[in-house]
Amino acid sequence: MIGKLILEDGSVFQGMLASGNNAVGEVVFNTGMTGYQEVLTDPSYCGQIVTMTYPLIGNYGVADIFEQARQSFVRGFVISELCGQPSSWQAQDSLVSYLKARNIPCVYGVDTRAITRRIRSHGTMKGVIVRGDAQDSEIADLFDRPPFVKVVEEVTTKKVYRIAGDGPHIAVMDFGIKRNILNSMAKAGCQLTVFPAHTSAEDVLAINPDGIFLSNGPGDPKDAPVETVRQLVGKKPVFGICLGHQLLALALGGNTYKLKFGHRGSNHPVKDVATGRVYITSQNHGYAIEEKSLAALDVTVTHRAVNDETIEGMRHNRLPVFSVQYHPEAAPGPDDSTYLFEDFMKLLGKETNKAGGN
Ligand SMILES: NC(=O)CC[C@H](N)C(=O)O
């Protein structure tokens, strides 16, 4: 069946509809060459239609081990060539049947390079996916709907749950956490208690955790629970990733802004400001911390994006608090930055010793 991606600026990209039906979302692009299943299940894409810039998608199929959440939250998926016959020892199914089984709106056979160039020059836009025979009124009705409504509430866990471990006890704020972040902390030796995003600071602190983790998540950080984070900072050591990093900045009195077209992919270079060393990182964000808003705060910028110099990491100068904008847990992407989970463990160790008077 014919399908179309229509952008807010009126441009139409006609291809085939592999699965799903009408959808509205914010159209973004991801530059990863692999990792499509992790992208589909990264909750931070909730509310978005994701265009994959790599021209061949689906060639290694899908497998349970790549899932990053209980379900996909993307509003739509846009592909140039969709491979129908995967070849991989890990494949359990094809991408096409995965998309169909989950009813994920997917258009393929379109010029994803042209879509990407348009987004790069006009900035991130609203867009819709429709069947080829959709009426104008149906399309107009879709465009009238907002892409983002309470996205953190949609993706967060509904109940508190625990992941056993022998090491430090971390209270995890789930704003839309990816599984590999939980796995990376469990691997670093933590025990985890995962809280729904709307949990009060009081309830989180009631378990007397050794540290607090602020997760990634969808949407504008200003719509997420900034006040809760404000009440948590200074009480326990804190590590934040992506949305967690942005929330920390807001809670400390800084500001965030929307990037023209965001950073999404598994091949983004980031520089460690102190050492000059460059790491290749996995990224997925549309917002960033405003540089000048940090000037008056007691924080140091630790990492910067090589492509556009935006802030990619910071640490508080007095409190045991640090965060990164990129994804050290990868999934998908390189594992250059997994050392940050070890750094969090070391920070917790130091703080525990201090508290114990050593
Ligand atoms: N991956 C994330 O946590 C994304 C954070 C935020 N929603 C952004 O787009 O910037």
What ipTM was reported for this prediction? 0.98
Domain with CATH 3.40.50.880 in the chain: 154-355
What span, in angstroms and rounded, lies between the C-alpha atoms of 309 and 263?
12
Which of 3, 16, 11 lies closest to 27, judged by CA?
Answer: 11
Q: Which residue's CA is the closest to the ligand 1 atom numbered 3?
A: 216
- 216 Cβ inside 6 Å of ligand 1: yes
Q: Report the pLDDT value the prediction gives residue 157, as an integer from 0 to 100.
A: 98
In the prediction, which pLDDT does 293 show? 98
Three-state DSSP class for 130? strand
Residue labelled with tokens 């990491």: 313
Contact 242, 351 (CB under 8 A): no
Q: What is the 28 CA–ligand 1 centroid distance (Å)?
A: 12
Pocket probe for ligand 1: among 151, 155, 156, 216, the residue whose CB has the most ligand atoms within 8 Å is: 216
Q: Whose CA is nearest to atom 5 of ligand 1?
A: 243
| Beta-carbon-side half-sphere exposure of residue 230 (alpha carbons within 13 Å) | 10
Q: CB neighbours of 288 closer than 8 A, spacing ≥ 6? A: 246, 256, 257, 259, 310, 311, 325
Active site residues: 242, 327, 329
Residue 74 near residue 50 (C-beta atoms within 8 A): yes
Angle between helices 179-187 and 339-355 (to 10 degrees): 60
* Of 210, 256, 205, 208, residue with least CA distance to 228: 205
Query: Distance between CA 319 and CA 252 in Å, rounded?
Result: 11
146: Cα separation from own chain's centroid: 20
Q: Give me the pLDDT at residue 356, please.
A: 62
State which of 73, 172, 242 you would mutate to test the pocket of ligand 1, scoring each by most atoms of that ligand within 8 A of its C-beta: 242
Tell me which long-range contacts 222-228 makes (C-beta under 8 A, separation of at least 24): 222/250, 222/256, 223/148, 223/151, 223/152, 224/152, 224/175, 224/197, 225/152, 225/173, 225/175, 225/197, 225/198, 226/250, 226/251, 227/251, 228/173, 228/199, 228/200, 228/201, 228/204
Ligand 1 pocket residue status of 219, Cβ below 6 Å: yes
| Number of other residues whose CB lies within 10 A of the CB of residue 332 | 21
Domain 2-149 fold = Glucose Oxidase; domain 1 (3.50.30)
| 310 Cβ closer than 6 Å to some ligand 1 atom | no
* 40 Cβ below 6 A of ligand 1: no
* DSSP for residue 254: -
| Residues 29 and 134 sit within 8 Å (Cβ to Cβ) | no
Token reading at 63: 């497998």
Q: Is the CB of 325 under 6 A from ligand 1?
A: no
Q: Cα angle at 160 between 155 and 163, to 5 degrees?
A: 100
Fold of 154-355: Rossmann fold (3.40.50)
Domain with CATH 3.50.30.20 in the chain: 2-149
What type of residue sits at position 238? V
Instruction: Supply the pLDDT for residue 354.
Output: 80
Q: Measured in angstroms, how far is the CA atom of residue 42 from the centroid of ligand 1? A: 10
Atom of ligand 1 nearest to the CA of 241: 3
**Would you state the pLDDT for residue 358?**
44
Q: Check if 324 has its Cβ closer than 6 Å to any atom of ligand 1.
A: no
Distance CA 175, CA 73 (A): 13
pLDDT at position 232 is 98
Q: How many CA atoms lie within 13 A of 22 on its CB side?
A: 13
Rounded to 5°, the CA angle 120-126-128 comes to 115
Tokens for 146, please give them.
Answer: 């907002």
Q: What does the pLDDT read at residue 349?
A: 87
Q: What pLDDT tens digit does each residue of the chain (358 aa) get?
A: 999 999 999 999 999 999 999 999 999 999 999 999 999 999 999 999 999 999 999 999 999 999 999 999 999 999 999 999 999 999 999 999 999 999 999 999 999 999 999 999 999 999 999 999 999 999 999 999 998 889 999 999 999 999 999 999 999 999 999 999 999 999 998 999 999 999 999 999 999 999 999 999 999 999 999 999 999 999 999 999 999 999 999 999 999 999 999 999 999 999 999 999 999 999 999 999 999 999 999 999 999 999 999 999 999 999 999 999 999 999 999 999 999 999 999 999 888 778 764 4
Return the ligand 1 atom nearest residue 288 CA: 10
Measured over the CA atoms of residue 21, residue 23, residue 28 and residue 32, the dihedral's sign is negative
Q: Tell me the residue type at 15.
A: G
**Dist. CA 221–CA 245, nearest whole Å:** 9
Residue 316 parent element (H or E): strand 311-316
